[in-house]
Amino acid sequence: MQKPLILVTNDDGITAPGIRYLIEIMKELGDVVVVAPDSPQSGKGHAVTLDATMYCDPVPSTNGASREFACSGTPADCVKIAKHEVLNGRMPDLCVSGINHGSNASINVIYSGTMSAAIEAGTEGIPAIGFSLLDPSWNADFSQARNYIKSIAEKVLAEGLPKGTVLNVNIPNLKKEDIKGVMVCRQARSRWIEKFDKRVNPQGRVYYWMTGTFVNQDEGKDTDQWALENGYISVVPVQFDLTAHQNIQQFQQWEF
């Protein structure tokens, strides 16, 4: 029997420890092909390359993937070029993105290159999961979540996902024995309060560094933030139809 074909990508770049660890897990489940950015693309959201040439070069495989490619584009670009060029028309059975170094829970999902790669796969009809660990360190330890990541991926391979839905999986930065399990939940209502550090370069030109403070505005115990703060891995089903269906009737009553 033909092994499942698993496309692996991320936004931290093809050399990031998170994606190397994810490849190790996925090769136990199927035939792995990697198409990932050749440099970090964090925070790029669902951007695509329209105003520049794009490269997708084969690179040596270091830990079990059948083929690997470094792409000069964004995470969403990686999925597009994988489907249309690298895989020669064969549809992946699963796309996994990550493991991201840092949280993609709550409002972060809209900024995330990791999740945008998964969402791009979902729009193409490919079951997709984004994995993130709440540790931004380059030397993060991903081992505590290995069995959970494998189990979630196995379940999606076996059951598929509803049309128009991908999974956003976030893992607390805890020891294996301290993780209480998996909680399927909703995205918490939150926001970033931004601040700009204004400076002047030696040539006299003003420039800025953006910083921010994350504020959780949701006290619900059914959210990803609550799950993560209480020792659970959060699994949020994400839909890429952004229509506020519950408000359509209200706006239909307006006179435009």
Q: How is the chain split into domains, by residue range?
A: 5-188+213-252
Burial class (CB in 10 A: 0-12, 13-18, 19+), 209: exposed
pLDDT of res. 88: 83
What distance in Å separates the CA atoms of residue 144 and residue 32, rounded to the nearest whole number?
22
The Cα-based distances of 42 to 146, 199, 207, 221 in angstroms read: 23, 23, 20, 29
The DSSP secondary-structure symbol of 155 reads H
Residue 118 contacts residue 130 (beta carbons within 8 Å) = yes
What distance in Å separates the CA atoms of residue 178 and residue 183, rounded to the nearest whole number?
14
Cis geometry, peptide bond prior to residue 99 (ω within 30 degrees of 0): yes
For 5-188+213-252, the fitting CATH number among 3.40.50.740, 3.90.1150.10, 3.40.50.300, 3.40.1210.10 is: 3.40.1210.10
pLDDT of res. 253: 94
For the record, the structure tokens of 204 come out as 């006299």
For the record, the structure tokens of 110 come out as 């809209």
Query: What's this model's pTM, rounded to 2 decimal places?
Result: 0.93
pLDDT of res. 42: 86
Q: Please count the other Cβ atoms lying within 10 Å of the Cβ belonging to residue 5.
A: 18
What distance in Å separates the CA atoms of residue 123 and residue 93, rounded to the nearest whole number?
14
Look at residues 144, 35, 141, 39 and name the one whose alpha carbon lies nearest to residue 92.
35
Report the Cα 144 to chain-centroid distance in Å.
Answer: 19
Query: What pLDDT tens digit does each residue of the chain (256 aa) get?
Result: 689 999 999 999 999 999 999 999 999 999 999 999 999 888 888 999 999 999 999 998 877 778 999 999 999 999 999 999 999 878 999 999 999 999 999 999 999 999 999 999 999 999 999 999 999 999 999 999 999 999 999 999 999 999 999 999 999 999 999 999 999 999 999 888 999 999 999 999 999 999 888 888 888 899 999 999 999 999 999 999 999 999 999 999 998 8
pLDDT of res. 66: 84
Q: 197 phi and psi, to 5 degrees?
A: -85, 110
